[in-house]
């Protein structure tokens, strides 16, 4: 698991509030005599906004590079390489550099399945296949199959290929809610101590593109992004810095999103 604590500011409320989180994963696996791995994960999460929760389980089986899972699935789009490379700071702030997050057009923003840390999730099914540098991921959820946990039908897929230090990924989602139809492309790579990434998405006609980069100098890593959204009033920009304490990190970030709101945070984060 992991934990973090710090402070968070946003220009909408003008308030600086405490940021605290602890996440404990309960991972269980077993292996059949023929070599199939069976596993399940349950997560305990305490956020600053309320008491701790137990989320919905993700149960899976995997063999020869193929994993089949049911329940609180990861979701293809949410798992796509490069999707969250633009995140800055301790908390990722408003994720204004993520190209599926159309800040200025909330209708098309977060309508895709992803692992829920404190809720039941999509109650869907998914298959993930890895062979050499290739990864393919198909996820599916709908109201009947999920006993009502998912309100709409979503089919999402991505394919990604890694060659040397570069990764290219293409993702698609078809949903029964038209505003959730998405096409996403990401490219990311490393040149020595520098990282660079590009992402673009068509969110049911609402396009968004983003560039991100990072540079590491010893224990310090600086990263940032700029993103341009079709309906946005301005360019979204973000800047973050991480100082590695060896086992824990001091992290800070500041971000202005596409509608001009500013957020910042500062704190420490560690894994255990």
Give me the residues that bind a copy of itself (CB under 8 A), please.
1, 3-6, 15-18, 20-22, 24, 26, 28-34, 36, 38-42, 44, 46, 48-57, 59-61, 69-72, 118-120, 123-125, 144-147, 149, 245-248, 268, 270-272
Q: What minimum distance in Å lies between the beta carbon of 188 and a copy of itself? A: 28
Tokens representing 217?
């100098």
Give the whole-angstrom CA distance, residue 41 versus residue 182: 28
Buried b / exposed e along 48-76 (16+ C-beta atoms within 10 A): eeeeeeebbbbbbebeeeebebbbbbbbb
Give the whole-angstrom CA distance, residue 163 versus residue 135: 12
Q: What angle do CA 144, 150, 154 make, to 5 degrees?
A: 90
In Å, what is the CA distance from 186 to each residue of 40, 102, 137, 239?
29, 16, 15, 20
Q: What minimum distance in Å lies between the beta carbon of 159 and a copy of itself? A: 25
3-state class of 159 per DSSP? strand
Rank residues 64 and 271 by Cβ distance to a copy of itself and give the closer one: 271
Cβ contacts of residue 249 below 8 Å, gap of 6+?
242, 243, 268, 269, 270
Rank residues 135 and 150 by Cβ distance to a copy of itself and give the closer one: 150
In Å, the largest CA–CA distance within the chain is: 59
Q: What minimum distance in Å lies between the beta carbon of 28 and a copy of itself? A: 4
Other Cβ atoms closer than 10 A to 126: 25
Cβ contacts of residue 38 below 8 Å, gap of 6+?
29, 30, 31, 32, 60, 61
């Amino acid at each position: 698991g992991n934990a973090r604590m710090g402070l968070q500011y946003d220009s909408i409320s003008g308030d600086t509030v405490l940021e605290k989180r602890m996440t404990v994963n309960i991972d269980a696996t077993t292996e059949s005599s023929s070599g199939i791995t069976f596993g399940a994960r349950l997560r305990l999460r305490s956020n600053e906004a309320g008491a701790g929760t137990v989320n919905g389980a993700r149960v899976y089986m995997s063999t020869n590079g193929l994993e089949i899972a049911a329940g609180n699935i990861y979701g293809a789009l949410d798992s796509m390489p490069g999707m969250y490379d633009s995140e800055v700071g301790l908390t990722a702030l408003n994720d204004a550099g993520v190209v599926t997050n159309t800040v200025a057009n909330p209708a098309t923003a977060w309508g895709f399945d992803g692992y829920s840390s404190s809720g039941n999730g999509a109650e869907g099914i998914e298959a993930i296949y890895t062979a050499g540098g290739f990864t393919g991921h198909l996820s599916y959820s709908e109201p009947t199959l999920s006993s009502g946990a998912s309100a709409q039908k979503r089919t999402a897929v991505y394919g990604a290929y890694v060659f040397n230090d570069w990764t290219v990924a293409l993702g698609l989602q078809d949903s029964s809610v038209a505003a959730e139809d998405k096409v996403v492309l990401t490219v990311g790579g490393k040149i020595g101590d520098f990282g660079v990434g590009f992402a673009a998405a068509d969110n049911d006609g609402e396009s968004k593109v983003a560039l991100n980069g990072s540079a590491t100098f010893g224990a310090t890593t600086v990263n940032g992004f700029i993103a341009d959204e079709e309906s946005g009033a301005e360019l979204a920009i973000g800047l973050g810095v991480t100082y590695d304490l060896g086992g824990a990190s001091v992290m800070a970030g500041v971000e202005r999103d596409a509608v001009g709101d500013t957020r910042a945070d500062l704190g420490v984060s560690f894994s255990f």
